[in-house]
Amino acid sequence: MPTIVVDVMPKAELLDPAGKAVAGALHRLGDTAFSGVRIGKRFELTVDGEVTDAVLARARELASEMLSNSVIEDVIAVSVDE
């Protein structure tokens, strides 16, 4: 069944404490190649049937209204994964 993938990340201007903690752990482990870590969410919506334009439009609407908190998060991608 086709899947619509919605990627949500914390806004760039906000602190991401969990990401900062992971970045700190990487530095303590000696991993200097990575300068920062941010942690967001990935939603997989299974679509019953075909992904029509209407379904994709509704998914975009849900992504910004229900799956993300626009005060602290950005929807960075809504894509179809067959």
Residues that bind its own copies (CB under 8 A): 1, 4, 7-9, 19, 22, 25-26, 31-49, 55, 58-59, 62, 66-67
Phi/psi-derived region of residue 67, left when phi > 0, alpha when psi is between -120 and 50, beta in every other case: alpha
Nearer to its own copies, 26 or 64 (CB): 26
Least separation in angstroms between CB 13 and its own copies: 15
CB of 71 vs its own copies, minimal distance in Å: 19
According to the 3-state scheme, what is the secondary structure of 53-73? Answer: HHHHHHHHHHHHHCCCCCCCE
CB of residue 12 to its own copies, shortest distance in Å: 10
For 71, other C-beta atoms within 10 Å of its C-beta total 7
